[in-house]
Amino acid sequence: MSKQKIALVTGGTGGIGTAICIALADQGRKVIAGYFPPEKEQAYAWKQKHRADGYDFEIVACDVSDFESSQQMLLDVENTIGAVDILVNCAGITRDKTLRRMTPEQWDAVLRTNLDSAFNVTRHVVDKMSENGFGRIVNISSVNGQKGQFGQANYSAAKAGLHGFTKAVAQELAAKGVTVNSVSPGYVKTEMTDAIPAEVRESIIQQVPMGRMASPDEIAYVVSFLTDDRNTYMTGANLPVKAGLGARLFFGPGNAISLDGHRTWRYCVEAGESGVIFYTYAPGKRHLCCSAQ
Ligand code: NDP
């Protein structure tokens, strides 16, 4: 019988992270959830709660935005449990502001936590994975890394950076039995999206063809597919899990989307290969602009 594989999920006690821990444990993995060090008490409570449900998760403290802290975490894990076979880089934060109002601190915090973290943690697992001839790395990006998002120049840049990171490292490790892929969720119901003002959240949901946010389990399932032992030929890929969000066909002639819930609307007049032509209407102003995107 082959040895039980060890999976480390950063941000493992968060909304999507928890679902990923459960999905990987259900797949027979030994699962370790990384948590942000100031949240020690909550992390122990999380561990207890899941133990009562039959999940024996390990937890490990680490600030993934810090290279040394990440190195220490991997040393601790290796010495006490064993080398990591599966890594899911899931920790992330948002600090939304339009660029005109964004501070260097907000930019740095988001880039360090969402993008530098992938380097900080992955850097310490690749040698052992290559040596062992097996590894699965999944980076949790976002649909906003591809389409951009108003008020999220920092987050969109970090998540787009993860795509480049994924593709480059996938090439470096392809011959070693180590696959590297990213998953780009659309909008998922977690504390992160609960923090969005209700009316903005509603307008987001209106733009999703399925008319709802994803549940964390729906993202976790895709991660478990990518990390499956049998998934050996897929690397450097990005899997969008977004219920058709942004698909051209959905925003076709005659369709309208609201930009702010109900006051400002975009009416599509034409959709083709090169983009969408639309008119924007706002209260008191019949016709704002006509553009392609
Ligand atoms: P949560 O806030 O629930 O989870 C994020 C986790 O990351 C938390 O456990 C958080 O810990 C942890 N974390 C934050 N900063 C650090 C740090 N410096 N070191 C270690 N851990 C840290 O959010 P989600 O579950 O929604 O998000 C998970 C991932 O999915 C993120 O990368 C996010 O960008 C991405 N995503 C989410 C979407 C959504 O709609 N929810 C959509 C697309 C992508 P703590 O709680 O203690 O701060």
Residue range 186-226, pLDDT digits in tens: 999 998 889 888 988 898 899 899 999 999 999 999 999 99
pLDDT in tens, 226-269: 999 999 999 999 999 999 987 644 445 555 555 555 555 555 55
User: Which of 90, 95, 152, 189 maximizes ligand 1 atoms within 8 Å of its Cβ, making it the mutation to test the pocket?
Assistant: 90
Q: Could you tell me if 57 and 50 are in contact, meaning their C-beta atoms sit under 8 angstroms apart?
A: yes
Residues forming CATH 3.40.50.720 domain(s) in the chain: 6-241
- Per the confidence metrics, is the pTM higher than 0.85? yes
Task: Give nearest CA residue, ligand 1 atom 33.
Answer: 92
The Cα angle at residue 199 between residues 196 and 201, in degrees rounded to 5:
45
Pocket lined around ligand 1, Cβ cut-off 6 Å: 10-11, 13-17, 34, 36, 39, 62-65, 90-93, 113, 140, 142, 185, 187-188, 190-193
Sign of CA dihedral 91, 93, 99, 100: negative
pLDDT at 204: 86
Active site positions, annotated: 155
Kindly state the tokens that stand for 290: 């006509």
Distance 16 CA to ligand 1 centre (A): 7
User: Which of 67, 192, 196, 219 maximizes ligand 1 atoms within 8 Å of its Cβ, making it the mutation to test the pocket?
Assistant: 192
AA identity, residue 116: D
AA identity, residue 174: A
The mean pLDDT value of the chain amounts to 89
Give which of 275, 276, 270 is closest to 254, Cα–Cα: 270
What is the homologous superfamily of the domain 6-241 according to CATH? NAD(P)-binding Rossmann-like Domain (3.40.50.720)
Q: Which residue has the tokens 């083709």?
A: 272
pLDDT at 92: 98
Helical segments of the chain, H only? 15-26, 40-52, 67-80, 104-111, 117-122, 126-132, 144-147, 153-173, 191-194, 198-206, 216-227
